[in-house]
């Protein structure tokens, strides 16, 4: 198994605007790292630099503590599966998967066995003689995955492998990728702009914005400990209010709130609590009385807006909890769910 380390990578295309700025990231042996970020944030550029399809302007890339910048792409052992699953349309599935092995001049018997094994791993056993145009989008994506896996790469780079698939197939292929990664112990870097995909497959997530790393950590940390309000918003955070922290109390427009968050120094802060964390009812501390201003049924959950003084808190409730506009609502903000962010200029 191989570890990958990006060290202060910077990339500038001809337009002279930097696309990657000082990106550092370590992916452990056999880890599944998700590179998450909005479109244009530089995700594909990072994969291309790792695969050797472009040379960074600054910085270094190590596989297992050794720089690979001077290793040609075909000898790096990093295989990239592209967003638009580029199968050879005129070759059947078997030939597509065998392609990389033929290039390596393996004997026909070994190739046949390895192809069958790779197809079985992506749940397409026996599909060797199908042509790509006889497959669904999800199946083509699985073939692309098998074609990459069969050459036993040190590092597998997946560029938005699920983005062209419908929800049920996405979930399916997500599970396949996760299983393969755990069974084979391959180091994987999985690129997506989709927060749901990221959370579902990742060991860790690296969030990129505007070509720079904003936060790296376990999926849960982005919900519970976002570094700033932009990160919190990217993960569905919606309640933000300025406050002044003094010890375990924060003064806000909602009144004084008890907090647990002791990492942040006293003074100006931005208070945030996720809509799922706001509870209905009375309970110990941080009890508020609000007025229901909006309510929308969303299927799996319902979203409610509660006005308190001049602010509004958004909360997620179960679809069975119904509220009408104008109704009084009692709210509880559990102090361990309140997270304090640095105050931002312009807030
Ligand atoms: P992502 O994969 O996150 O959507 P990319 O890495 O593809 O982002 O692109 C990051 C930025 O670099 C974008 O602004 C894009 O327009 C620009 N870019 C990508 N490829 C090139 C290129 N070959 N020449 C010039 N600019 C490019
Ligand atoms: Mg991209």
Spacing, Cα 218 to ligand 2 middle (Å): 22
> CA 46, 52, 54: angle at the middle one, nearest 5?
65
Residues 75-115: pLDDT tens digits?
999 999 987 667 898 999 999 999 989 988 889 999 999 99
Domain final residue pick, 198, 229, 260: 229
- Residues 303-327, buried b or exposed e (16+ Cβ, 10 A)? ebbbebeeebbbbbbeeeeebeeee
Return the best residue to mutate from 21, 40, 208 for the ligand 1 pocket (most ligand atoms within 8 A of CB).
40
Cβ(48) to ligand 1 under 6 A? no
Same domain, 103 and 215: yes
Return the best residue to mutate from 35, 45, 209 for the ligand 1 pocket (most ligand atoms within 8 A of CB).
45
Q: Ligand 1 atom closest to Cα of 46?
A: 6
Residues 124-159: pLDDT tens digits?
999 999 999 999 888 898 899 899 989 889 999 999
Domain housing 191: 4-229
Residue 112 lies in a domain: yes
Same domain, 45 and 110: yes
The rounded mean pLDDT for the chain is 93
Same domain, 109 and 247: no
Residue 249 lies in a domain: yes
Above pLDDT 70, what percent of the chain?
98
- Those residues with Cβ within 8 angstroms of residue 107's Cβ, 6 or more apart along the chain or in another chain: none
Cα–Cα distances (Å) from 278 to 249, 275, 283, 300, 336, in that order, read 18, 6, 12, 17, 11
Cβ(93)–Cβ(143) below 8 Å: yes
CATH number at residue 289: 2.40.50.140
Same domain, 19 and 106: yes
Spacing, Cα 44 to ligand 2 middle (Å): 4
DSSP assigned state of 262 = -
Residue 187 lies in a domain: yes
Same domain, 135 and 222: yes
Spacing, Cα 85 to ligand 2 middle (Å): 13
Q: Give 346's pLDDT tier (boundaries 50, 70, 90).
A: low
Same domain, 193 and 321: no
Exposed/middle/buried for residue 46 (C-beta within 10 Å: 0-12, 13-18, 19+): buried
**Which tops the pLDDT comparison, 189 or 346?**
189
Cβ(257)–Cβ(313) below 8 Å: no
Cβ(15) to ligand 1 under 6 A? yes
Among 92, 195, 80, smallest CA distance to 140 is for: 92
- CB atoms closer than 10 angstroms to residue 110: 10
Same domain, 225 and 235: no
Integer Rg of the chain from CA: 24
Q: How far apart are CA 315 and CA 86, in angstroms?
A: 43
Does 347 score more than 50 pLDDT? no
Same domain, 210 and 91: yes
Least confident of 58-67, 70-79, 134-143, 272-281: 134-143
- Residues 125-146, buried b or exposed e (16+ Cβ, 10 A)? eebbebebeebeebbbbbbbbb
> Secondary structure of 122-191 in the HEC alphabet?
CCCCCCCCCCHHHCCHHHHHHHHHHHHHCCCCCEEEEECCCCCCCHHHHHHHHHHHHHHHHHHCCEEEEE
Cβ(41) to ligand 1 under 6 A? yes
Same domain, 133 and 270: no
Same domain, 78 and 130: yes
CATH number at residue 54: 3.40.50.300
Return the best residue to mutate from 11, 12, 13, 193 for the ligand 1 pocket (most ligand atoms within 8 A of CB).
13
Spacing, Cα 19 to ligand 1 middle (Å): 7
* Residue 137 pLDDT: 84
Spacing, Cα 53 to ligand 1 middle (Å): 13
Domain final residue pick, 210, 229, 248: 229
Same domain, 176 and 240: no
| Sequential DSSP letters for 18-39 | EEEEEEEEEE-TT-EEEEE--T
Spacing, Cα 127 to ligand 2 middle (Å): 30
- CB atoms closer than 10 angstroms to residue 287: 14
The ligand minimizing its distance to the Cα of 83 is 2
Same domain, 202 and 300: no
What mean pLDDT comes out for the span 163-168?
A: 80
Domain final residue pick, 191, 210, 229: 229
* Residue 163 pLDDT: 80
Among 52, 54, 87, 92, smallest CA distance to 73 is for: 52
Residue 347 lies in a domain: no
The ligand minimizing its distance to the Cα of 54 is 1
Cβ(132) to ligand 1 under 6 A? no
Q: In what order do the strands lie in the sheet with 58-63?
A: 18-27, 4-12, 58-63, 66-67
Cβ(45) to ligand 1 under 6 A? yes
> Which residue's CA lies nearest to atom 25 of ligand 1?
13
Domain count along the chain? 2
Residues 220-247: pLDDT tens digits?
999 999 999 999 999 999 999 999 999 9
Spacing, Cα 2 to ligand 2 middle (Å): 24
Residue 346 lies in a domain: no
DSSP assigned state of 264 = S
Cα–Cα distances (Å) from 245 to 205, 207, 287, 340, 341, in that order, read 30, 28, 18, 9, 11
Question: How do strand 58-63 and strand 66-67 relate by DSSP bridges?
Answer: antiparallel
> Which residue's CA lies nearest to atom 27 of ligand 1?
13
Residue 283 lies in a domain: yes
> Which residue's CA lies nearest to atom 1 of ligand 1?
40
If residue 73 lies in a helix (H) or strand (E), which one and from where to where?
A: helix 73-76
Spacing, Cα 43 to ligand 2 middle (Å): 6
Residue 67 lies in a domain: yes
Residue 248 lies in a domain: yes
């Amino acid at each position: 198994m191989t570890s990958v380390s990006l060290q202060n990578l910077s990339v500038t295309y001809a337009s002279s605007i930097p696309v990657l700025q000082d990106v550092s990231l370590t992916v452990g042996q056999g880890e599944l790292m998700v590179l998450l970020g909005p479109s244009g944030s530089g995700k594909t550029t990072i994969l291309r630099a790792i695969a050797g399809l472009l040379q960074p302007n600054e910085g270094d890339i190590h596989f297992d503590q050794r720089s690979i910048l001077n290793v040609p792409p075909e000898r790096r052992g990093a295989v990239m599966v592209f967003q638009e699953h580029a199968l050879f349309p005129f070759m059947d599935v078997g030939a597509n998967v065998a392609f990389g092995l033929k290039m390596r001049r393996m004997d026909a018997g070994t190739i046949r066995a390895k192809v069958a094994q790779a197809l079985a791993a992506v749940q397409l056993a026996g599909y060797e003689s199908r042509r790509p145009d006889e497959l669904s989008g999800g199946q083509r994506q699985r073939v692309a995955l098998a074609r990459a896996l069969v050459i036993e790469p040190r590092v597998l780079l997946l560029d938005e492998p699920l983005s062209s698939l419908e929800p049920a197939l996405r979930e399916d292929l997500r599970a396949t990728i996760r299983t393969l990664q755990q069974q084979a112990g391959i180091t994987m870097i999985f690129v997506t702009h989709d927060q749901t995909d990221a959370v579902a497959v990742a060991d860790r997530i690296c969030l990129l914005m505007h070509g720079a790393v904003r936060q790296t950590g376990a999926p849960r940390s982005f919900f519970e400990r976002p570094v700033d309000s932009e990160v919190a918003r990217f993960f569905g955070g919606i309640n933000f209010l300025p406050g002044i922290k003094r010890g375990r109390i924060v003064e806000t427009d909602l009144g004084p709130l008890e907090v647990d968050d002791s990492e942040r120094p006293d003074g100006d802060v931005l208070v945030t609590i996720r809509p799922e964390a706001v509870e209905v009812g009375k309970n110990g501390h941080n009890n508020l009385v609000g007025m229901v201003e909006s309510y929308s049924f969303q299927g799996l959950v319902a979203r409610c807006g509660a006005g308190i003084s001049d602010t509004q808190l958004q909360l997620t409730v179960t679809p069975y909890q119904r509220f009408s506009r104008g109704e009084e609502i009692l709210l509880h903000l559990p102090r361990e769910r309140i997270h304090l962010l640095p105050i931002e200029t312009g807030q």
